[in-house]
Amino acid sequence: MSTSIENSNLEGEPFNDSESESEATNLPSFDIGLSIGGDSDSSFRTENDPNAPYQRSNYIERKGAVDIRCSCKDVIHGSFSSEGDTFATLIVLEFRFDARKRARRFHSADISLEFSAIEKGDSAPEVFGIAPNGKFSLAPTTQHEETTRGINGEIGAGFGGPEVKGGVSWEKTVSRDTKDKTTIIGSIDLKGRNWGKPNCASWTLMENETTKEGVPPFLRTAILLKRKDENPFQCVVKIDASVNFDLKSKLERVFGGKGRVPKDDPVLFDPELEPTNVLQKYDVEELGALDLESLCDVTFETILGGAIKQK
């Protein structure tokens, strides 16, 4: 996994929606517009094209004080191994968390992708591998702190005469170095049932509490699924985020569908579709041998070089 560690009140503003079609690739994308607490009047819906419902390429952009976007970079259907009869699917996703106003930042974000069969009775895909998987620390910082504590005591004397008081004070200084970091946690989960193989890929992003610079604005992840058959399947994408309002030190929860069935259409996958091969050309007969870590990426900030020019 490559990382770039250069450092980089949600308002009720109207969201601007626009639609775009891509003829070059059939890649699904999901956008979740944000508002405080996920108001019932907020619009989060991303729909499948009725004429081409599988692995949709159309997308919706909803922009406000903060934006979230999830787009699919690659979808590859094939075999887990050329020596077996297990099918597999590779999905590479890119997430963006952008605060469009200086007083806002993403304090944390929770991502989940739950896979299931479309038709009742069909086998659901198994989430076999993800990247990043486990707990990762980025951009660690160390801060030196000193704490001084004082204790005051008084000694008084006055038996019918002038009262004399004396002050005695003690001070204790404690020095320590505190360490903090940005954290990314990835896990393979069983969701919606308590039996069977794992069916959910999850990631959590948490900001460095010391620097308070928000979560990384760019995250690329990879998911490897095992399948028993070539039947179509679906995925429900959920993103739940906390946004901090620096001006008032206020923390609000923003999300797309928390606590209820998401309004977004499930993303539909058809194993009969051709591989996209955007990032690279994949061996569709040996998807199980693929190094998932080589596909994932985290970026805090991209600095554009050569921006100062002279004539």
Using pLDDT thresholds of 50, 70 and 90, give the confidence band for residue 13.
Answer: very low
Determine the 3-state secondary structure of 287 from DSSP.
helix
The pLDDT value given to residue 309? 86
**Phi and psi dihedrals of 294, rounded to 5?**
-70, -15
Of the pLDDT bands very low, low, confident and very high (cuts 50, 70, 90), residue 264 is: confident
Query: What pLDDT was estimated at residue 236?
Result: 86
DSSP 37: T
pLDDT digits (tens, 9 = 90+) for 86-126: 999 999 999 988 887 777 888 898 999 999 999 998 999 99
- Residue 65 sits at φ, ψ, to 5 deg, of -65, -30
* Predicted confidence (pLDDT) at residue 58 exceeds the cutoff of 60: no
Question: Mean of the per-residue pLDDT values for the chain?
Answer: 76
61-74: per-residue pLDDT in tens? 556 677 888 888 99
Query: By percentage, how much of the chain surpasses pLDDT 70?
Result: 63
Looking at residue 121, its amino acid is G
**CA–CA dist 105, 296 (Å, integer):** 23
Hey, how many other C-beta atoms are within 10 angstroms of the C-beta on 146? 8
pLDDT for the residue numbered 7: 35
Report pLDDT for 162.
53
**pTM of the predicted structure, to 2 decimals:** 0.74
266, with CB counted inside 10 A (0-12, 13-18, 19+), is middle
| Per-residue model confidence (pLDDT) at position 134 | 95
